[in-house]
Each structure stands twice: as C-alpha cells, then as structure tokens.
Amino acid sequence: MSERNTLIRSLHDVGLAAWFGGSLMGAVGLNGAAKDEGGTDTATDRIASAGWAKWTPVNAAAIGAHLFGGGGLLAANAHRVATQQGVAASTTAKTVLTAAALAATAYARVLGKKIELAASTDPDDAEKANEHPIDLYKARRQLTWVQWAVPALTGGLVVLNAFHGEQQRAHQQITGMWERARSVSPFMQ
C-alpha cells in the first residue's frame, strides 16, 4: 500500500488555491474594475455579475476538488487524527472554517444572483426580480462584506493547511502520539 497521497493532496491544495485566489481576485480586481468602468450602480452591477457568473462553475469545481481531496486526506490520516495530540483539534478547526467559507460562498452567490436579476435588462429577469423584491442598497453592502469574508476564511484554511503540514513531520508525529498516549493512560504519567 502506498504511503503517498499525491492525487488527493493535489486536489485538496489546488482546489483551495483556486477558491482563495479566485475570490480574492474577484473582490479586488473584478469588483474594482466594474466600479471603475460601470459609471452607474446598475452598470457596475451588470459588469460584476457577468464576471462572477463566468467564475461560478470554475469556483464550484475548485470547491468540489478541495472537499474531495480533504475527505481523502482525512481518511488517509484518520490514525493521526485519533492518536496524535493536537491533530484532532486542528482538523476540527479546519472543518469549522471550511463550513464557514462554504456558507459565505453560497450566501455571496445568492446575493449576487439577486443583484444580477435586479440589474438585468432582460424582461424575464426583471419579472423574476419583481417576484422577489430586494433592498438593492442593503444587498450590495452585504455582498461587499461577504465577498471579502470568503478570501479571509479560505486564507485561514491555507494557514491551517500549513500547520497540518508541520504536524506531519516525523518529530511532531512521535511527540504528538507520545503525549496523546500519556494523556489517556494514567500509567504513563
């Protein structure tokens, strides 16, 4: 049995890199360019919405790759999670942060879609927007915040990923497993 997990680690890391990088570029570059070139709030919304709509399928694939790779790494390292002190806590933190990033990403897409419909010149979109009216100013403000939350949360995942890498060093594994054994066994104190 191979000790290498290159494919699942690559899916995990490349997916996270695309999720983080794409969300940061969108918040800085795409939204900034839309604001500079839009002229009006509605035109800015249209430009930004068109860019984010093109990014959505790529982002979904990146998130899927990250989650698939993360699940594979968790399965491959289950023994470390159970036996090495500190790994379960950092894995839990990473899981919570991933869930928060997923929630922020989904909420950003929902808000973005509402703004896209409200700014559209397509009569079908206008009809859909009228069925579900929104406070456009409030939605724009919330979207701005949540679009910055996604790179902040995924950036935190990058840091935790680096921490997990450090926990895999041989010395860290031996020390962590010894400390874990001592903590669960009164005879090893």
pLDDT per residue rounded down to tens, the chain (189 residues): 457 889 999 999 999 999 999 999 999 999 999 999 999 999 999 999 999 999 999 999 999 999 999 999 999 989 888 888 788 999 999 999 999 999 999 999 999 988 988 887 777 776 777 777 788 899 999 999 999 999 999 999 999 999 888 877 665 556 655 565 566 666 555
Are 16 and 158 within 8 A, CB to CB? yes
At position 95, the amino acid (one-letter code) is T
Residue 160 maps to a domain: yes
Residue range of the domain that includes 152: 6-188
In a domain, 176, yes or no: yes
Give me the count of residues in the chain.
189
Q: Is residue 177 part of a domain?
A: yes
Q: Report if residue 140 sits inside a domain.
A: yes
Give the count of domains, the chain: 1
107-121: burial string, b at 16+ Cβ within 10 Å, e else: bbbebbebbbbbbbe
Residue 1 located in a structural domain: no
